[in-house]
C-alpha cells in the first residue's frame, strides 16, 4: 500500500458531515495510477476533463503514483 495526499479543486471537494474536504489522505495499492485514484475517490466527473498535477508538475492519467506524492485534481474553468 502507498499513501498519497490529494488536493481537490473547489468543484471537486468532497462533502462530509464535517464540511467540504479539500485535502484527503488516500491509501492505494502499489502501482496505482492517477486514473485509479480518481475512480477510488468516486468523483462524478470524467477523468479526461480534469487538470492533473503531481508534486507540482503536470501529469497524465496513466502516471503511476509513489508514496507521499501530492496530487492536485482540478476542473478547468473558463469565462468570458
Residue 16: its pLDDT value, please?
Answer: 63
Query: Which CATH number goes with the domain that contains 67?
Result: 3.10.20.30
Please give the tally of structural domains in the chain: 1
Residue 1: its pLDDT value, please?
Answer: 95
| pTM flag (> 0.85) | yes
Write down the mean pLDDT value for the chain: 90
Sign of CA dihedral 74, 63, 65, 53: negative
Q: How far apart are CA 49 and CA 75, in angstroms?
A: 7
pLDDT 10s digits, 3-23: 999 999 888 887 666 678 899
> 29 is in which domain, residue-wise?
2-74
Beta strands of 13-59 (E only): which ranges? Answer: 14-16, 19-21, 23-28, 51-54, 57-58
Task: Indicate whether 79 belongs to any domain.
Answer: no
Task: Indicate whether 80 belongs to any domain.
Answer: no
Task: Indicate whether 66 belongs to any domain.
Answer: yes
Amino acid at each position: 500500500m502507498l499513501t498519497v495526499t490529494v488536493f481537490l479543486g473547489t468543484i471537486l471537494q468532497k462533502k462530509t458531515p464535517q464540511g467540504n474536504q479539500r485535502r484527503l489522505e488516500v491509501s492505494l495499492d502499489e502501482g496505482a495510477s492517477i486514473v485509479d485514484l480518481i475512480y477510488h475517490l468516486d468523483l462524478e466527473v470524467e477523468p479526461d476533463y480534469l487538470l492533473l498535477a503531481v508534486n507540482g508538475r503536470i501529469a497524465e492519467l496513466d502516471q503511476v503514483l509513489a508514496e507521499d506524492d501530492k496530487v492536485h485534481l482540478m476542473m478547468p474553468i473558463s469565462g468570458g
